C-alpha cells in the first residue's frame, strides 16, 4: 500500500487558524503554535508561510544536544532556505563583516563555517541577524520556526539563549518567529507573542476530506451512516489516527474484495483497475471499521506498551482512568474515589505532566486522551 494513499493535497480544516496566523505574519507578529503531536502544526505553518509568500527556516531543537549543535542546525536551516545563486551572493557579501564564512557547493550543500575556537555567543547573534539582513536586501519576509522549543532547556540551563531569542522576537521587523510546542508556556502570556492552539478537528472537516478520498478508491460508507459515525467516534478529530484508520479500512475492504472477486494469477487486486462483473463501489460497514480499528491498535501495541513503560505509575493510572471513564472533572471527589487516584497536588501534577507530554487535553477539551487509538488500546488492555 502506498504511504501517500488518502494523504490530502490541501489543508484539512484549520480555516480559522490559517486566518489568524496569516494576520499575525502580515503585521510582523510572532506566535507560539501549540498542539499535540500529529495535529498538523508544521503542515499549517508551511501552508500559511507559502500563502503569505514568506521564506521559512526550520530548526528542530530536539536535535540540538548542546549549543554547538544548535548553532550548526541554525546555520543549516538558513542555508537550506537561502540557496539560489542570488541568495548566496548576498550571504557571501554579509560574510565579509561576519564571524563566519560561506563554503558553497560542498558535498553537504552550501555551508556556513566558523573556527572551532570561535566565540559561540558572537556566532549566535550573527546567525540570528543574518535572515533579517537577507530579508531586507531581498525585500521579502522570513519565518523562523523552532520546533520542540522547550527542549533547549536540556542544555540551556540558565535560559540565556532562550532569553536572547525572546528579545530578538520583538526587535526584528522582517523576521517572524514561530515556536512549536505542545502547550503554551507561562512566559508567552507576558509577551507580545500570540498563542495559537490546535485542538481536535471538527467531524465536518474529517468527513469533507474522508468521503471524497474513499470515493476516489471506489469505496463509500453504508447508506445508514453507521460506519461513518463509528469512524468519527474512533478518531475523535485526530487527523493522524483518521489517516491511519482510513488506510487500514482500505486494506480490509481490498482483502475482502479479492476473496469475493478473485483474479486468476493475481494474489491481490490492483488499485484503480476495474475488473469485469465487479461493482464500481464497495460499501464500508460498521463491522469493517471496527475490525480495521482493532487490527490497527494491535499493530501499535508495542509502541503503546513502550510509551506506558516510560510513564510514572501515577500518570499511567490517570491515563487508564480517562480512557475507561472520560470526564470533564477528574478532580471531582467521586471520580477520585471511583478510580483510586491520588488527591490534591498529586493528581493535578499528573494531569499537567500528561498535558505537557501531549497525551491528554486540558480543561478546554475535558481532559480526554489526545490519541484515540491509545485510549482504545488501553480499554482493551484493561478489559
Asked if pLDDT for residue 150 goes beyond 90, the answer is no
Of the pLDDT bands very low, low, confident and very high (cuts 50, 70, 90), residue 170 is confident
Please state the φ and ψ torsions of residue 282, each to the nearest 5 degrees. -115, 135
Report strand pairing: 101-106 vs 109-113.
antiparallel
Of the pLDDT bands very low, low, confident and very high (cuts 50, 70, 90), residue 105 is confident
At 244 the pLDDT is 93
All domains of the chain, ordered by start, with CATH? 15-198 (3.40.50.300), 203-382 (no CATH)
Give every CB contact of residue 380 below 8 A, 6+ residues apart in sequence: 294, 297
Of the pLDDT bands very low, low, confident and very high (cuts 50, 70, 90), residue 1 is low
Mean pLDDT lowest for which of 184-188, 299-303, 356-360? 184-188
Mean per-residue pLDDT, 250-269: 69
pLDDT 10s digits, 34-52: 888 888 898 899 999 999 9
pLDDT 10s digits, 291-307: 999 999 999 999 999 99
At 266 the pLDDT is 46
Q: Which residue has the cell 499528573?
A: 350
**Three cell numbers written together for 288:** 469493517
At 375 the pLDDT is 95
Mean per-residue pLDDT, 25-41: 88
Asked if pLDDT for residue 262 goes beyond 70, the answer is no
Whole-number average pLDDT of the chain: 88
Mean per-residue pLDDT, 104-118: 82
Give every CB contact of residue 124 below 8 A, 6+ residues apart in sequence: 67, 71, 74, 161, 164
Asked if pLDDT for residue 199 goes beyond 60, the answer is yes
Please give the residue that has the higher pLDDT: either 105 or 291. 291
Amino acid at each position: 500500500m502506498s504511504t501517500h494513499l488518502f494523504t490530502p493535497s490541501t489543508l484539512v480544516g484549520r480555516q480559522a487558524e490559517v486566518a489568524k496566523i496569516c494576520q499575525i505574519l502580515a503585521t510582523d507578529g510572532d506566535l507560539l503554535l501549540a498542539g499535540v503531536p500529529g495535529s498538523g502544526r508544521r503542515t499549517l505553518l508551511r501552508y500559511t508561510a507559502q500563502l503569505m509568500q514568506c521564506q521559512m527556516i526550520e530548526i528542530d531543537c530536539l536535535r540540538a544536544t548542546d549549543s554547538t549543535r544548535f548553532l550548526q542546525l541554525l546555520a543549516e536551516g538558513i542555508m537550506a532556505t537561502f540557496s539560489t545563486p542570488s541568495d548566496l551572493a548576498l550571504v557571501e557579501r554579509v560574510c565579509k563583516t561576519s564571524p563566519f564564512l560561506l563554503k558553497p557547493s560542498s558535498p553537504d550543500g552550501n555551508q556556513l563555517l566558523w573556527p572551532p575556537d570561535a566565540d559561540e555567543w558572537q556566532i549566535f547573534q550573527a546567525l540570528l541577524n543574518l535572515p533579517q539582513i537577507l530579508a531586507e536586501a531581498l525585500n521579502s519576509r522570513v519565518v523562523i520556526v523552532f520546533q520542540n522549543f522547550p527542549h533547549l532547556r536540556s542544555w540551556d540551563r540558565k535560559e540565556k539563549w532562550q532569553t536572547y531569542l525572546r528579545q530578538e522576537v520583538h526587535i526584528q521587523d522582517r523576521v517572524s518567529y514561530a515556536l512549536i510546542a505542545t502547550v503554551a508556556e507561562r512566559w508567552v502570556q507576558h509577551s507580545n507573542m500570540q498563542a495559537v492552539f490546535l485542538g481536535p478537528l471538527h467531524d465536518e472537516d474529517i468527513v469533507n476530506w474522508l468521503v471524497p478520498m474513499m470515493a476516489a478508491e471506489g469505496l463509500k460508507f453504508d447508506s445508514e451512516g453507521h460506519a461513518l459515525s463509528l469512524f468519527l467516534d474512533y478518531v475523535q478529530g485526530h487527523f493522524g489516527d483518521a489517516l491511519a484508520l482510513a488506510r487500514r479500512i482500505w486494506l480490509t475492504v481490498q482483502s475482502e474484495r479479492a476473496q469475493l472477486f478473485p483474479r486468476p494469477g493475481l494474489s491481490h487486486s490492483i488499485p484503480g483497475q476495474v475488473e469485469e462483473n465487479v461493482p464500481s463501489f464497495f460499501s464500508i460497514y460498521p463491522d469493517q471499521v471496527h475490525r480495521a480499528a482493532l487490527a490497527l491498535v494491535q499493530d501499535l501495541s508495542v509502541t503503546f506498551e513502550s510509551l506506558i513503560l516510560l510513564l510514572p505509575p501515577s500518570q499511567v493510572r490517570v491515563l487508564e482512568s480517562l480512557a475507561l471513564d472520560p470526564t470533564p472533572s477528574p478532580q471531582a471527589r467521586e471520580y477520585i474515589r471511583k478510580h483510586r487516584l491520588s488527591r490534591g497536588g498529586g493528581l493535578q501534577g499528573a494531569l499537567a505532566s500528561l498535558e505537557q507530554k501531549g497525551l491528554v487535553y486540558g480543561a478546554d477539551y475535558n481532559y480526554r486522551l489526545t490519541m484515540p487509538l491509545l485510549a482504545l488500546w488501553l480499554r482493551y488492555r484493561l478489559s
